[in-house]
Amino acid sequence: MILIYCRTGNRTGQTFTRMTEMGFVKVYDLANGITRWGALGYPVCVERLGEEHTCVGRYQEPGAGT
């Protein structure tokens, strides 16, 4: 499985198309980019790759249960 994302979703939309044309089958594009993801209240981990941190697990959908 491959998850692709960029800041606004424009570049990953193009990349998603190319990857599926190349035969990749489990490719997922984060629609509207990481900026929109954060604006919706979903968590964004900003720790350095390879560092120990607590940005793991499942998160409740914003607005759920309210």
In DSSP notation, the chain reads: -EEE--SSSHHHHHHHHHHHHTT--SEEE-TTHHHHHHHTT-----SPTTS-----S--PPTTTT-
d(CA 27, CA 39): 23
Check residue 66 and give its pLDDT: 46
Q: Given this model, what pLDDT does residue 27 score? A: 92
pLDDT in tens, 19-54: 999 999 999 998 899 889 888 888 777 766 666 666
Residue 64 has pLDDT above 60, yes or no: no
Show the DSSP H helices in 6-64 as ranges: 10-21, 33-39
* Predicted TM-score of the model (pTM): 0.60
Residue 60 has pLDDT above 70, yes or no: no
